[in-house]
Structure 1
Amino acid sequence: MQKIESRMEKTKIISIVFFIISLLLAAYLGKSIFTSIDQAESIERGEKAVIQKLSMIREAQIAYQSVNGNYTSDWDKLKSFIDTGKFYLVDRVEHIITLDYGADSVYVEFDTLGTVLVKDSVFSAKKYPKFNLETLSKVPGKDAEFEMWADEIEKSGVKIDVVEVKNPAPIDPARKEENEARTRKPLRFGSRTNVTTAGNWE
């Protein structure tokens, strides 16, 4: 009888131990799942902020290139352009003249109507209510600056301007330069070898 009671006592103790272990394991797994979800949401929020900043820089580079004929790799030049640069408002009128022998001749007249500031046109408060020129080059949430590169390359015998701006401090640790897929590399827009200003998040 004592042996049976002793065995039952041991079984009871083992059951309690297993129950405690299962509770601890469930708590650990639950915490891991919630931590993973929080981390994923944090990465998503961080990358959205980086993408918005890259989109602003892209707009600035496109505007700079349209006025100056090339992109820039100099932050001071780009910021100065955004702060004080201007777009010319031009009216374009085509005239078609029929020549004596029946052919048409076309000439175009351009009339400068005025100017508009880049910061009022591209970075208006309505479009970017939180735009801050001073922090444009900074990676959100990181003590780092975006890497900006611009140059002229030759493509099929023609000189072309190219630009690339990328985040050197990815929010997502899985984004690595050695990843084969462009979409899994650190967030960026443009290319050093092709004529594009597309972002790898698009």
Structure 2
Amino acid sequence: MTKTKIFTYVLLIPILFLAYKIYDGIRGPIMEQRRIASIEARVIDKLKMLRNLQLGFYSVHGKYAGSWDELTNFIKNDRFLNIQRTETIDSVDSRGIEYTKVKFDTLGTVPVKDSLFPASRYPDFDPNSISVIPGSGGKKFEIYGGRVKRNNLEVDVFEFRDPAPVNPQRRRNNNENALKVGSREEASTAGNWE
């Protein structure tokens, strides 16, 4: 063997090692970004579910739930009214103004679980796990339901917030950019990702 071949073989190992390190250095952050995006997408889906649940709770009880027990009990035991609205034009007067009669009929009730979480869309839905943050290892969303005073009126508000974001950018400044839906200060049902 010549010195050139020996030198080539000796350098081949560090070259392959450095190539792997460069590849892994590029691939690692990309895989981490994908993992964070996947978890955040699941958290956002759960926050949308919680918003719909809270709006349903409000439609039945006239206030937002302030605890997980209230929401879990609502899913398990409450029902929505199935109401039919019909309008009929009663008469038209000489000026051409129509008078409309509106009639509301209660046709029955539908369980909250079947209405908001149908088995076709959520086959493995468990009301007891509604508070658990996806990908967190069992941590729960923070829940708030209450009233705030705005323009001399008391307004019902709610907020669900992820207290331990996976994304390092959302953890800055005491989790100020953590994923959340609703607001403790404003009458809003929007999420901060929208």
For the criterion TM > 0.5, the same-fold answer is yes
Q: Where does residue 164 of structure 1 map in the other structure?
A: 159
Q: Where does residue 89 of structure 1 map in the other structure?
A: 82
> Sequence identity, in percent?
39
The whole-number CA distance in structure 2 between the counterparts of 1:129 and 1:178 is: 38
The alpha carbon displacement at 1:31 in A equals: 1.1
The alpha carbon displacement at 1:144 in A equals: 1.1
The whole-number CA distance in structure 2 between the counterparts of 1:140 and 1:64 is: 22
1:186 aligns with 2:181: no
The whole-number CA distance in structure 2 between the counterparts of 1:56 and 1:29 is: 42
Q: Which structure 1 segments of 5+ residues have no match?
A: 1-11
The whole-number CA distance in structure 1 between the counterparts of 2:90 and 2:143 is: 48
The whole-number CA distance in structure 2 between the counterparts of 1:125 and 1:201 is: 27
Supply the AA of the counterpart residue of 2:186.
N
The whole-number CA distance in structure 2 between the counterparts of 1:30 and 1:106 is: 72
1:140 aligns with 2:134: yes
Per-residue deviation, residues 124-145 of structure 1 (Å, max 9, x unmatched)? 0112223221211011222311
The whole-number CA distance in structure 2 between the counterparts of 1:80 and 1:153 is: 25
1:118 aligns with 2:109: no
The normalised TM-score by structure 1 is: 0.79
The whole-number CA distance in structure 1 between the counterparts of 2:172 and 2:100 is: 51
Q: Which structure 2 segments of 5+ residues have no match?
A: none
Structure 2 residue matching 1:174: 3-state secondary structure: helix
Count of aligned pairs: 191
The alpha carbon displacement at 1:96 in A equals: 5.4
The whole-number CA distance in structure 2 between the counterparts of 1:198 and 1:46 is: 20
Supply the AA of the counterpart residue of 1:168.
P
Moved more, 141-150 or 89-98: 89-98
* 8 Å Cα contact 2:164-2:171 kept in structure 1: no
The alpha carbon displacement at 1:13 in A equals: 10
Structure 1 residue matching 2:171: 3-state secondary structure: coil
The alpha carbon displacement at 1:166 in A equals: 0.8
The whole-number CA distance in structure 2 between the counterparts of 1:81 and 1:169 is: 26
Change beyond 3 A, Cα 1:177–1:40: closer
Change beyond 3 A, Cα 1:93–1:25: same
Radius of gyration: which is bigger?
1
* 8 Å Cα contact 2:157-2:183 kept in structure 1: yes
The normalised TM-score by structure 2 is: 0.82
Q: Where does residue 197 of structure 1 map in the other structure?
A: 189
Per-residue deviation, residues 75-121 of structure 1 (Å, max 9, x unmatched)? 01101101111111122234555598967665543221111111111
Structure 1 residue matching 2:155: 3-state secondary structure: strand
